[in-house]
Amino acid sequence: MLRDEGYIKYNCLWTETAAIKVAEVSGLNVWRKKLFQQGLLGVYPDGISFGNVSVRKDEKQFIITASQTGKLAVLNENHFSLVTDFDLKGNNLTCSGAMRASSESLSHAAVYTTLPNINAVFHVHHAALWQQYLHKLPTTDVQAAYGTPEMAFEIQRIVKNQEEKHAGILFMAGHEEGIISYGETLDMAGNMLLKIL
Ligand SMILES: [Zn+2]
């Protein structure tokens, strides 16, 4: 296990394959475009993309936007990746597709593996919403940093608590501007964000 400055290093094992089928990404892509238009996904002035969306494929697998696609207004099937296996504790992920999965995929995996009824997870960035709702709505511990197993465990802790209430949203104190919404359908996950915007 690789460790770097006290954190377990994120490890993505990607097998380059043909693109995901258009039919499997079309619904997700509709929502991805809506969120992009609202500025919830995009790119910072330093060129770093933010925001990623996913949809469950089956019990163990999900489809997610590929790494560094936030800057693109319109995506096609080449810009999605299929996550086929993951290990939250080891910070390891296995994926396939024309591009490598987002580096924030394990935050999505944490939700899918905890709540079997959830089929869509959206991770967006929004400075004003984040400041407004941090510690008012469910919020991850500030000690849990972006891309660490600790963040994945914090997400698991929160969504487990919210299960009965179907709250569907959480804020990431240790990941500036970071927000996650989730739902049984793409519409439920997406509308959760539009509702508070
Ligand atoms: Zn993020």
Question: Any idea where the domains of the chain sit in the sequence?
Answer: 3-196
Ligand 1 centre distance from Cα of residue 104 (Å): 7
Q: What share of the chain is helix, strand, coil (3-state, %, to 5)?
A: 30, 30, 40
Q: Convert the pLDDT of each residue in 158-187 to its tens digit.
A: 999 877 665 899 999 999 999 999 999 999
Ligand 1 centre distance from Cα of residue 90 (Å): 20
Ligand 1 centre distance from Cα of residue 193 (Å): 15
- CA 57 – CA 86 distance, rounded (Å): 14
Q: Convert the pLDDT of each residue in 119-173 to its tens digit.
A: 999 999 999 999 999 999 999 999 999 889 999 999 999 999 877 665 899 999 9
**Is CATH 1.20.1090.10 the right assignment for the domain spanning 3-196?**
no
Ligand 1 centre distance from Cα of residue 126 (Å): 10
- Asked if the model's pLDDT at residue 30 lies above 90, the reply is yes
What is the value of pTM for the model shown?
Answer: 0.95
Ligand 1 centre distance from Cα of residue 2 (Å): 22
Q: State residue 9's pLDDT score.
A: 80
Task: Output the CA angle 81-85-88, nearest 5 degrees.
Answer: 110
pLDDT band per the 50, 70, 90 thresholds, residue 31: very high
- Asked if the model's pLDDT at residue 3 lies above 90, the reply is no
Supply φ then ψ for residue 58, to 5 degrees: -155, -165
Detail the DSSP E strand segments found in 17-164: 42-43, 49-50, 52-56, 62-65, 80-87, 92-97, 120-125, 139-140
Q: State residue 134's pLDDT score.
A: 96
Ligand 1 centre distance from Cα of residue 122 (Å): 10
Beta bridge partners of 83: 62, 95
Ligand 1 centre distance from Cα of residue 124 (Å): 6
pLDDT band per the 50, 70, 90 thresholds, residue 10: confident
